[in-house]
């Protein structure tokens, strides 16, 4: 186990690139929700809907449910006479282009780019979505620096985002499983974005990411991850160690993995914050048929837009989305 290099998830060999100086993804240097016009809300107009977290609602039948937004939506600074954004979208740090989706209609992200960055903790992804165009010659495997232009802000896919609400959706976080592509193909799902489907990407609050920069503009991602509130602890039956802890070994605590059970701590949206062996008391609570929710923090879960864990009659359990999340993580 050790640090995974930026090229490891896209094939080929590469020298490690520093997850060093961090810039904002557009010319907006100040990403402050208190400054009007910085972020682009949804059609409902609620300013909070442009931010990270359970800030949205979706309607299923007659019912409205909280919906989790995995990133932030940054509004344009400049438009031309036809209202088209003129803002460049740039890589926030040095790394390698991991994936480019060039067909805006085959993802809710529209045209999007994923960049992979190395950190002592392990590999971090950043994602730039709804682009109106790509930088000429941009290709997967290409090295980029902080500030390298990836494309132009836009409103792709136009079928769901009107030009008036054009923006860049920005995410930063971790890849759940390097074997996700195999899982996806077994499910016979489409379209295939390889590892960089939203189901395999789990983000932290980008505003916390930018606020954590030191005087030199650097981010200690491991320390930042340690500040993310734990939403739940889960006792999980496994057949072996998880790929996730192979790639993020510093998140495994205590004795090396052994046996058939482990405890996972997770954020509201499923970022795995740590893993360890269970105690004898925790093992006595095990349900041999499924994962067991050991603890859940209702305050951290808040509106619980992800519904990975749900509460029925005062008892917490994995929800349907949580079952899929754990299946992907453990594949």
48-104 tens-digit pLDDT: 999 999 999 987 777 788 999 999 999 999 999 999 999 999 999 999 999 999 999
| Mean pLDDT rounded to a whole number for the chain | 93
Let me know if residue 130 belongs to a domain: yes
Residue 195 lies in a domain: yes
Q: Give pLDDT tens digits for 286-310.
A: 987 889 999 999 999 999 999 999 9
Is residue 165 located within the same domain as residue 274?
Answer: no
In a domain, 101, yes or no: yes
Query: For residue 116, what is the domain's CATH number?
Result: 2.70.70.10
Secondary structure of the chain: what % helix, strand, coil (to 5)? 20, 30, 50
Reply yes or no on whether the pLDDT at 12 is more than 60.
Answer: no
pLDDT score, position 145: 95
Query: What are 141-153's pLDDT values in tens digits?
Result: 999 999 999 999 9
- On whether both 188 and 262 belong to a single domain, the answer is no
Provide the domain limits for residue 201: 6-221
Confidence bin at 271 (pLDDT 50/70/90): very high
Average pLDDT over residues 270-295: 94
Residue ending a domain, among 183, 203, 221, is 221
pTM of the entire predicted model: 0.94
- Tell me which of 58-67, 131-140, 253-262, 295-304 is least confident: 58-67
Q: Are strands 143-144 and 261-266 parallel, antiparallel or unpaired?
A: unpaired
Tell whether 80 is covered by a domain: yes
Which pLDDT does position 11 carry in this prediction?
A: 53
* Distances, alpha carbon 86 to alpha carbons 26, 81, 89, 146, in Å: 11, 11, 10, 20
> Does one domain contain both 38 and 167?
yes
Q: How distant, in Å, are the alpha carbons of 167, 201, 239, 324 from that of 331?
A: 35, 15, 10, 10
Given pLDDT bands bounded at 50, 70 and 90, which one contains residue 15? very low
Q: What is the pLDDT of residue 88?
A: 98
pLDDT for the residue 2: 33
Nearest alpha-carbon partner for 272 in 303, 241, 298, 316: 241
* Any domain includes 294: yes
Among 204, 221, 238, give the residue marking a domain's end.
Answer: 221
Query: pLDDT at position 64, please?
Result: 83
DSSP symbols for 236-267: EE-SS--HHHHHSGGGB-SSPP-SSEEEEEE-
Q: Does the pLDDT at position 253 exceed 80?
A: yes
Asked if 302 and 154 sit in the same domain, the reply is no
Domain identity same for 153 and 245: no
Same domain, 212 and 81: yes
Judge whether 1 lies within some domain.
no
| The pLDDT value given to residue 16 | 41
Is the pLDDT at 177 greater than 70? The verdict is yes
Q: Which of 257, 123, 268, 266 is nearest to 196 (CA)?
A: 123
Are 245 and 251 a contacting pair, CB within 8 Å?
yes
Residue 237 and residue 216 share a domain: no
pLDDT tops 90 at residue 163: yes
Last residue of a domain, one of 179, 204, 221: 221
Are residue 208 and residue 323 in the same domain, yes or no?
no
Residue bearing tokens 């503009």:
217
Same structural domain, 109 and 234: no
Percent of the chain with pLDDT over 70: 94
How many domains are there within the chain? 2
Tell me: do 191 and 65 sit in the same domain: yes
- Structural domain contains residue 321: yes
Q: Is residue 209 part of a domain?
A: yes
Are 137 and 271 contained in the same domain?
Answer: no
Q: Is 208 found in the same domain as 158?
A: yes
């Amino acid at each position: 186990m050790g640090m995974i290099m930026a090229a490891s998830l896209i094939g080929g060999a590469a020298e490690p690139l520093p997850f060093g100086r961090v810039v904002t993804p557009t010319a907006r240097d100040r990403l402050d929700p208190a400054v009007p016009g910085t972020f682009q809300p949804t059609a409902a107009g609620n300013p909070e809907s442009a931010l990270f977290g359970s800030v949205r609602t979706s309607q299923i039948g007659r019912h409205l449910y909280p919906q989790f937004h995995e990133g932030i939506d940054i509004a344009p600074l400049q438009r031309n006479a036809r209202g088209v954004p003129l803002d460049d979208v740039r890589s926030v740090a040095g790394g390698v282009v991991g994936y480019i989706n060039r067909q805006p209609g085959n993802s809710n992200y529209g045209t999007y780019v994923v960049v992979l960055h190395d950190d002592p903790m392990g590999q971090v992804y950043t994602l730039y979505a709804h682009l109106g165009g790509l930088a000429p010659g941009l290709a997967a495997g290409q090295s980029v620096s902080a500030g390298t232009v990836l494309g132009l802000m836009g409103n792709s896919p136009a079928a769901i985002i009107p030009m008036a609400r054009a923006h860049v959706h920005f995410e930063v976080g971790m890849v759940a499983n390097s074997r996700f592509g195999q899982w996806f193909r077994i499910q016979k799902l489409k379209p295939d974005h390889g590892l960089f489907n939203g189901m395999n990407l789990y983000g932290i609050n980008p505003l916390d990411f930018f606020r954590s920069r030191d005087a030199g503009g650097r981010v200690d991602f491991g320390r930042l991850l340690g500040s993310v509130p734990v939403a739940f602890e889960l006792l999980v039956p496994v057949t072996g160690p998880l790929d996730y802890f192979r790639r993020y070994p510093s998140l495994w605590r205590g004795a090396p993995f052994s046996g058939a059970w482990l405890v996972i701590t997770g954020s509201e949206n499923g970022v795995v914050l740590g893993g360890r062996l269970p105690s004898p008391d925790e093992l006595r609570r095990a349900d041999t048929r499924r994962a067991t929710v050991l603890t859940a923090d209702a305050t951290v879960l808040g509106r619980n837009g992800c519904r990975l864990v749900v509460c029925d009659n005062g008892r917490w359990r994995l929800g349907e989305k949580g079952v899929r999340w754990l299946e992907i993580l453990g594949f």
